[in-house]
Chain A
Amino acid sequence: MFGARPGVGLADLSALLSSAEMRDANGIVVAEMRLPRTLGGLLAGGALGCAGALIQTLTRNPLADPGLLGVNAGAALGIVASVTVFGPLPSGALAMPALAGGFTALLAVWAVGAAARSPLTLVLAGAALTALLGALLRSLILLDPFALDAYRDWAVGALDGVRSGLLVVPAILAAIGAGLAVPAARRLDALALGDDLAQALGANLVAARLLTLAAVGILAAAAVLVAGPLAFVGLVAPYLARATGVQTSLALAIVSAGFGAALLLTADIAGRIVAPGIVIEAGLGVTLIGGTFLILLVRRQARNPA
């Protein structure tokens, strides 16, 4: 309920129940701005948290995160490239390039990570991929001055422009991703018992991996469409979720989605409290929280590396 507009209170929540024509200005703020913004935050944060939990379980790597692995950057490059080629596009049309970019990046990083035994290698490969995609993005922007303006706002990751109309396609994607996540998590649990045992139990190794990757890619694309390429949400959320003591992959994915949503909304609200009236993108808060978190995590484990 925090926001820049003074005088908006709990009473205005009633606007959510009234018809669109009956709302006063405060009602409009609640129903058509804060509600979509909050839903967008829940959707993007939840999707990233869930995707982070899945990819961490799949790679058995506590440092995996769709943002750190370059998946979000891939989706972002897909979006900017198609805007550069075709001009401004409706959000629905951006889903395909976001998915294509995200999956390409995911497969590239997977090609390394699947065989890499060190969790560090996967993360560094992701960081290298992110740097590469970032450099390509910058090149595209140099060719098209208009792209820079659009990019500057969006690159940081923000929720302030989210309107309900923009949420439809990402919501469908997130639902598909979540739908895939459930069987994926089940199979991952079976795999966790050990590859041999899992095969004996009839769990198909390849199918489990493909399902998980598909879910991660779709969830990440949904999040990027809503809020831009946010890093760290998928890293921090599963870590917090594990601290609650959940056991199964499915539970971890669900609880992580909750923490991810909470993290992104916290960052968004913090931005509004720090500088009321002007926009401080939620991505800034997420990066500050997430980066600090990673540093503290590393310092805690400094002398007993994974």
Chain B
Amino acid sequence: MSRFVAAHAIVGAVLLGLILQRLAGGSPPADLAAALAGDPLERVILLHFRLPRLVLAMAVGAALGMAGSALQVMLRNPLASPDIIGFGAGAAAGAAGAILILGEIGAAVPGALTGGALTAALVMALAWRDGVSPLSLVLIGLALGLMLTTLTDILLSLSPAILASETARFLTGSFASADWRFAGWMSLATAVGGAVLLRFAFRIDRLAMGDDLAVTLGLAPDSIRLSVAATAALLVAASVAVAGPIPFIAFLAGPIARFAADEPGTVLPLAALVGGTLGVAADSLAGVPVGGTRLPAGVFTAMIGGPAMLILLLRLEVDRK
């Protein structure tokens, strides 16, 4: 069995284990037998609470994983994930602005989509200069991201108390707000966006060899970069709209996938699998109250993401030596 197949099998097994844990475990655990026997409450909990929440966590995780991985490969930098280069910050600022103006958390959905799309357009417009180099895309995204994070903080300071703390909770990222409509739309977005990225996967890999080579192969580097960046940005915006800015999945999924299966061009599905696994894992942890308080999943991706990021950074250093 090749390393590639083994990697998929291992991640898939972990995901399957987590799925079973999510469906049957938790605090308190679900009674699957009763649900199958037709107990109405257990049935509703399984079919309408746990399943859509699970699907949402997987879809968001997969979307972030693919968006992050595609950007990292295209921009030739394992650190250039959408939450670092401003796409996530744009969607978050849009959500915070809409929440403040309309006074309700639900406004985050149109807000995040608008903010994410506008930011992505702005990043690409500003980075365009007779074409778009990966370096300027990353740096301009970074600069805009920092400006938008400050804007979000200002918006938060303008909100009345309860709305501000609920907005802060939204900005941590959570899968708690799930029904089949949300889960369905997000799955659709992930599927469409993923398909677009997969179509580009081969070309993204060729770009990594340098623009000149890509042009001789008959590829148009700039249009590839813009299409991939736009798709990634929309995937991120959709995730923020349904679950808030869940940190670090986009950052981590790609490197983990590439570490597991070091084969170019085929890493996107694995990144989706890893992202989905991270999403479900974080939501499993969110299912257990800490000191009587239910914490959003984003707290846990940050806690998993922190050490993992440091390991990744140190590995980078080792690679360079």
Contact = CB atoms under 8 A, between A and B. Distances in A.
Interface string A102-116: 000000100110111
Interface string B300-318: 0111011001100110110
B278 interface: no
Given A138-B172, A138-B302, 14 more contacts: A108-B310, A112-B317, A115-B320, A135-B298, A142-B172, A152-B153, A153-B157, A156-B150, A290-B143, A290-B146, A295-B144, A299-B127, A301-B136, A305-B135
A303 B164 contact: no
A290 B309 CA distance: 27
Given A124-B79, A132-B248, A302-B129, A232 B146 contact: yes
Interface residues of A, number: 52
B198 interface: no
B185 to A, nearest CB: 26
Contact of A284 (B138, B154, B296): B154
A149 B305 CA distance: 27
Q: Chain B at the A interface: mostly helix, strand, loop or mixed? A: helix
B150 A284 contact: yes
Interface string A190-232: 0000000000000000000000000000000000000000011
Interface in B122-176: 126-127, 129-130, 133, 135-136, 138-140, 142-147, 149-150, 153-154, 156-157, 161, 164-165, 168-169, 171-172
Interface of A: 63, 68, 108, 111-112, 114-118, 120-121, 123-125, 127-129, 131-132, 134-136, 138-139, 141-143, 145, 148-149, 152-153, 155-156, 231-232, 281, 283-284, 287-288, 290-291, 294-295, 298-299, 301-303, 305
Contact of B248 (A135, A139, A145): A135
Nearest to B246: A135
A291 B172 contact: no
Contact of B153 (A63, A112, A155): A155
Contacts of B306: 132, 136
A288 B147 contact: yes
A298 B136 contact: yes
A120 B146 contact: no
B138 A117 contact: no
Given A116-B317, A116-B320, A305-B133, A138 B171 contact: yes
Contacts of A141: 168
Interface in B274-298: 293, 295-296, 298
Interface size class of B (residues with CB under 8 A): 35 or more
Contacts of A116: 316-317, 320
B165 A302 contact: no
A305 B134 CA distance: 10
Contact of A120 (B139, B301, B303, B310): B139
B168 A298 contact: no
Contact of B146 (A149, A153, A291): A291
14 contacts: A120-B139, A124-B77, A124-B84, A124-B142, A132-B248, A135-B305, A138-B299, A153-B157, A155-B153, A287-B146, A294-B139, A294-B143, A298-B139, A298-B143
B146 A152 contact: no
Q: Chain A at the B interface: mostly helix, strand, loop or mixed? A: helix
B84 A128 contact: yes
B90 interface: no
B87 interface: no
A124 B310 CA distance: 13
A74 to B, nearest CB: 12
Given A125-B79, A135-B248, A139-B299, A291 B139 contact: no
A148 B305 contact: no
Nearest to A228: B153
B224 to A, nearest CB: 18
A295 B313 CA distance: 26
Contacts of A134: 149
B321 interface: yes
A184 to B, nearest CB: 23
Given A128-B251, A145-B165, A120 B316 contact: no
Given A121-B316, A124-B77, A298-B136, A287 B84 contact: no
A7 to B, nearest CB: 29
Interface in B8-28: none
B143 A112 contact: no
Given A135-B247, A142-B172, A283 B77 contact: no
A121 B143 contact: no
B83 A111 contact: no
B96 interface: no
A295 B135 contact: no
B247 A131 contact: yes
5 smallest CB-CB distances across A and B, nearest first, come from: A135-B302, A124-B79, A291-B147, A294-B143, A302-B129
A295 B143 contact: yes
B257 interface: no
